[in-house]
Structure 1
């Protein structure tokens, strides 16, 4: 296994030391930055001061984006399957005519 990297991430004014694979660093730093930015937005726009409430709202927003993406992907897969079935039927009908 490769070397591990020790980093510290700051989220909502708390520092979290982590030991990670180096290839995870950029993604984790971006995620921490996005959480911090969204938390500040919630604090400013909704006058929420309790960090736990702010972080819960951040978690809800990020999780809902993932779920909505899964729903849209599922609908796209269903549509693609229907198109493939129609194409398959068309090809089969052309092959059996001869």
Structure 2
């Protein structure tokens, strides 16, 4: 059943985290864990950082910044679309009014 939870284990920063999740969450969590592991390796190689706490903090900052930038970009796109729709609405009103 879809409502039954799965027990999975994710490895992040040399630690295993047992989780109980719904089946539809598993793929996203596994992909997220892989992305975190990739970012950890990148930070460790690029900056020769050995302290996992520092590396995890930088990963958290990187992911949070990406998320915030997406929100900003989406907000800008919504504003642009709204402006275009308003302009189109004005044109339609002018056309229909004549």
TM-score bracket relative to the smaller structure: over 0.9
Post-superposition, which runs of at least 4 consecutive aligned residues in structure 1 deviate over 3 A?
none
Q: Where does residue 25 of structure 1 map in the other structure? A: 26
Partner-residue secondary structure (3-state), 1:15: strand
Name the TM-score, length of structure 1 as normaliser.
Answer: 0.96
- What SS is found at the alignment partner of 1:2? coil
Deviations along 1:55-90, one digit per CA (max 9) or x if unpaired, are 010011111111111111111110100000100000
For 1:56, the equivalent position in structure 2 comes to 57
Tell me the C-alpha RMSD between the 2 structures: 0.9
Aligned length: 97
Unpaired segments of 5 or more residues in structure 1?
none
Q: Where in structure 2 are there 5+ consecutive unaligned residues?
A: none
